[in-house]
Amino acid sequence: MEQDIGKILISERRLQHRIRELGAEISRDYAGKEPLFVGILKGCFVFMGDLMRHVSGYCAVDFMAVSSYGNRSITTGAVKINKDLSEDIENRHVIIVEDILDSGVTLNYLMQYLQVRRPASMEIVTLLDKPSRRQKPVQAKYVGFEVPDKFVVGYGLDYAERYRNLPYIGVLKPEIYENENG
């Protein structure tokens, strides 16, 4: 598996350091508010697990699963909800947890979809941000790292369901997706 990675972009150590900072920042901003963390599956699961352990105070978690039509490197714009929330978000302080904010199509759709349920507030925490690829005006309040326009995997992020178990963020060698996409 490691031979498919061209370069380690963000080491395990840097990830853990930054996630600790994000947790502290969120804890301060939401003190006394009991936020609801909404993880977007599947990519969020590693990041969210680590982030939560640096959040102090009462909070709750829930999950949504979405898929965008089209393949991994090209997003078409249509978003399908595969699993909706099980919690009621009206009057709750919602924090959406994403692995990577890329075109913004997914989160733009999701924010509108959830806004009608009238949460008290709604913000985004994303581990990675690729601002150069943005098509929709989505802004994350909390960003772990800005990344260049390269396809990255690891720490929850996949290519064709692989590499989620890598403990770091790596750049996938282009020949991997060129080969597998034909």
Calpha distance 9→129 (Å, rounded): 13
Smallest gap from residue 61 Cβ to ligand IMP (A): 18
What is the closest distance, in whole angstroms, from the C-beta atom of residue 106 to ligand IMP in the complex? Answer: 3
Task: Report the residue number whose CB is nearest to Mg ion.
Answer: 43
Looking at the Cβ atoms of 54 and 136, the one nearer to Mg ion is 136
Rounded least distance, CB 39 to Mg ion, Å? 12
Measured in degrees and rounded to the nearest 5, phi and psi for residue 24 equal -65, -40
Any idea what the Cα angle at residue 166 is, between residues 165 and 168, rounded to 5°? 135
Task: Give the nearer residue to ligand IMP in terms of CB position, either 35 or 39.
Answer: 39
Rounded CA-CA distance 15/17 in Å is 5
Residues with Cβ within 8 Å of 41's Cβ and at least 6 positions away in sequence, in order, are: 63, 64, 65, 66, 83
Complex with Mg ion: residue 44 or 122, whichever CB lies closer: 44
- Which residues carry out catalysis? 102
Query: In terms of DSSP bridges, do strands 79-83 and 60-68 run parallel, antiparallel, or are they unpaired?
Result: antiparallel
Q: Which of 46, 129, 67, 61 is nearest to 95 (CA)?
A: 61
Interface with Mg ion, residue 43, by CB under 5 A: yes
Minimum distance, C-beta of residue 79 to Mg ion, in the bound complex (Å): 12
| Residues that bind ligand IMP in the complex, under the rule CB under 6 A | 43, 68, 75, 98-106, 151-153, 157
For residue 106, the partner it binds in Mg ion, ligand IMP, none, with Cβ less than 5 to 8 A by kind, is ligand IMP
Cβ 37 vs Cβ 12: under 8 Å: no
Of residues 55 and 96, the one with the C-beta less far from Mg ion: 96
151 binds, among Mg ion, ligand IMP, none (CB under 5 to 8 A by kind): ligand IMP
List residues binding Mg ion (CB under 5 A).
43
